[in-house]
Amino acid sequence: MSLSIAEPALPKSRLRILLDHFAEIDDPRDVRRADYPLPEILLLVVCGSMADCDDYENIALWGKAHLSFLRRFLPYEHGVPGERWLTILMNRINPALFSKAFTDWVRATWPEKIDLVAIDGKTSRRSHDRSAGEKAIHLVSAFATTRRLVLGQEAVPDKANELAAIPVLLERLGTDDGLKGALVSIDAIATNGTIASAIRAEGADYLLAVKANQPTLRAEVEACFNDAPTGTIEIDVQCDKGHGRIEERTVSVLREIDWLNGHRRFPGELRLPDVACIIKVKSRAQLAEKSRFETRYFISSAHLSAQKAAGAVRGHWGIENQLHWVLDVLFNDDQSRLRKGHGAKNMAVVRHFALNIIRSANDKHSLKSRRKLAGWSPNYIAELLQQSL
């Protein structure tokens, strides 16, 4: 009797995983009467966004011009929808389910553990609707700073601030130990016990800014550095040159912080769990004819060296120029005028899909050039989508 040995399964491509997650999103329509299946629509908008198309009109035109390319992956029996249908369909998709599909896809496609995660909010400025009294959408995003990878996003509810969205995003990212061992950095709005505890509950450490919104804590941290005995502060000095300026940063870390973990002086005073160190960052930027000085403070549950603290603090601001700036300048996010239904929230997620895929290219082209290449040659898109993991 002969035994047959099963061949090992071939690794899935990013495209296959992408389509698998698209198929899990609930279609709000009667699928028996739908000419354009939801996975076909989502693949169209992602590919169109990769191909330098920033609105529904151009995405629909690109899809019609490259229908044979799209049919290499899905049937598209009825072709692609026009601008009006794209608007209607994208408005109806549940943004929470779409965001979950994005996070699940990222985790399946880039399975390595993430070390540094920056969380920050961004407003799509022209997405407001004055006639309906609706403000522009504000999205809180999580960004892996060392990988330059968008991990997830959560829209801020109407008439609320980022504090309402951050715990939801943390819970989604933390599923199946997704944040375990990571260092999560957030600006001063999140410097409170609730957010810090939520981060620790996911097995991660926090790095939180201490600013004027916590005046008592800031004064105590500043005084602690001023009064610290000689030899108790670890210091790292870094100097950068570029773009017409010289910047020197002195990062100081103090771990003698028993006063933060002990008995507090009055009820209601800020309590953060598992505080391990406080950080002072003093920077001096020398420009052509003037100097600029700044001192910032942070608090963390991680036992950071001065060098690692410097990297984490600097990495947090990478979300501004590696994500928010890219979305505004390359994807025209601030110019998007989507205002009805869920379209603005869902297209913000689509841009994150497109950005992660474009960034995965193993070439030396800029992100701008990669989008141009994707628009000129669908084969370039296919190469990015069909990379095996």
DSSP string, 167-232: HHHHHHHTGGGTTTT-EEEE-GGG-SHHHHHHHHHTT-EEEEEE-TTSHHHHHHHHHHHHHPPTT-
Cα dihedral 243, 141, 178, 111 sign: negative
Please state the domain count of the chain: 2
Residues 165 and 314 in one domain: yes
Residues 315 and 367 in one domain: no
Pairwise CA distance, residues 328 & 319, whole Å: 13
- Residue 4 per-residue DSSP state: P
Cα dist. 241→65, 78, 246, 250 in Å? 46, 56, 5, 15
Residues 299 and 196 in one domain: yes
CATH number at residue 212: 3.90.350.10
**What is the value of pTM for the model shown?**
0.88
Summarize the confidence of residues 56-69 as an average pLDDT: 95
Residue 267 lies in a domain: no
Q: What range defines the domain where residue 377 resides?
A: 14-94+342-385
Residues 230 and 249 in one domain: yes
Closest to 251 measured CA to CA, from 288, 207, 212, 196? 207
**291-317 pLDDT per residue, tens:** 788 899 999 999 999 999 999 999 998
3-state secondary structure at position 107:
helix
**pLDDT at position 32:** 77
Residue 266 lies in a domain: no
Residue 302 lies in a domain: yes
**pLDDT at position 6:** 42
Phi, psi of 15 (to 5 degrees): -65, -45
Residues 302 and 376 in one domain: no
Residue 214 lies in a domain: yes
Residues 298 and 351 in one domain: no
**241-274 pLDDT per residue, tens:** 766 677 788 999 999 887 776 555 555 567 889 9
Residue 1 lies in a domain: no
Residue 283 lies in a domain: yes
Residues 245 and 107 in one domain: yes
Residues 36 and 141 in one domain: no
